[in-house]
């Protein structure tokens, strides 16, 4: 790449940074709990311990499709509200309509897969009745406790794996989207009016990439307020723009749908997953269960992991 072109891209990136950075500041974490828990079946626990990795699924194929569309529908709503303020030939209207169309995760499959997000879900509560019922085979599974500090600041995975807290407060979600729109109107639109056609094409391409990734970030971080009791966190791996094959995708079948997923292995320096505890579900024998679990943990090198049993009374 020529020196002049690099300089132009740097200028464009600075404009985009000024437009989008307030949004990233608003979605940064205020508090991260010491431990977060992943609920799974006995088969899932065995798989995690014996493989030494976590499976992060493509969020477009999670249990509830409406969950994925929730954030995109909010984006469309407030982009439309802002667009209604401008006349038909206004550059702002053109830009807002263009990027509103990015808020459709399945619209252009050959391009949208570049913006895919892969995530694995956690909960702040390691002994939650709804979680036992929904995600751990009706209470016959396990809640695996992970050190949040190791997942976030321990550099256990690659650089573009981050831990996100799910945002349930709709007022805050709307505020974040409005801050994004305000940044675009304040920084991107005035800049577009000052540049040549060839620069405009490059700028729009870069901005589309950044916005697409940001919309994906919203999709995995925004959730309906009705799910607030889940207290969910998500370990997220964003795909690299222009690098669709760098994820080493694998596939499984769920309800006749082929679900893409990726394996998250600790780096060689951090050879073990940061598991601190395992809580067995309320329907598992409190005599035999902990004994066999201890043998499994020890066989995989997790000798120091604590074991506990759920005290919830769960009947069917």
Q: Give the pLDDT score at 63.
A: 67
Q: Give the pLDDT score at 316.
A: 52
**How is the chain split into domains, by residue range?**
3-309
Q: Give the pLDDT score at 95.
A: 86
Q: Give the pLDDT score at 303.
A: 94
Residue ranges of the chain with per-residue pLDDT less than 50: 108-110, 241-244
Q: Give the pLDDT score at 292.
A: 95
This prediction's pTM: 0.88
Count how many Cα atoms sit within 13 Å of the Cα of residue 102 in the half-sphere of its side chain: 24
Q: Give the pLDDT score at 11.
A: 79
């Amino acid at each position: 790449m020529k020196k002049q072109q690099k300089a132009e891209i740097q200028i464009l990136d600075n404009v985009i940074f000024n437009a989008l950075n307030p949004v990233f500041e608003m979605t940064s974490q205020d508090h991260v709990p010491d431990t977060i828990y992943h609920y799974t079946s006995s088969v899932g626990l065995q798989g995690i311990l014996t493989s030494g990795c976590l499976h992060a699924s493509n969020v477009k194929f999670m249990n509830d499709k409406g969950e994925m569309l929730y954030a995109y529908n909010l984006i469309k709503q407030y982009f439309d509200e802002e667009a209604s303020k401008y006349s038909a030939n206004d550059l702002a209207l053109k830009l807002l309509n263009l990027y509103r169309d990015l808020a459709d995760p399945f619209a252009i499959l050959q391009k949208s897969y570049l913006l895919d997000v892969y995530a694995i879900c956690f909960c702040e509560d390691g002994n939650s009745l709804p979680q036992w019922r929904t995600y751990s085979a009706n209470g016959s599974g396990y809640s695996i406790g992970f050190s949040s500090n190791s997942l976030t600041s321990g550099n256990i995975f690659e650089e573009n794996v981050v831990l996100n807290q799910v945002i349930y407060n709709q007022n805050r979600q709307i505020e974040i989207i409005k801050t994004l729109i305000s940044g675009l109107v304040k920084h991107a639109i005035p800049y577009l009016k000052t540049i040549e056609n060839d620069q405009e094409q490059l700028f729009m391409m870069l901005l589309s990439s950044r916005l697409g990734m940001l919309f994906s970030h919203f999709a995995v971080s925004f959730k309906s307020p009705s799910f607030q009791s889940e207290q969910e966190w998500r370990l997220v791996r964003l795909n690299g723009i222009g690098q669709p094959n760098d994820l080493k995708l694998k596939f499984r079948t769920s309800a006749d749908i082929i679900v893409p997923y990726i394996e998250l292995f600790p780096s060689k320096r951090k050879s073990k997953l940061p598991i601190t505890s395992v809580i067995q579900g309320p329907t598992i024998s409190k005599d035999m269960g902990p004994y066999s679990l201890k043998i499994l943990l020890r066989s995989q090198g997790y000798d120091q992991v604590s074991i506990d049993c759920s005290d919830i009374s769960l009947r069917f």
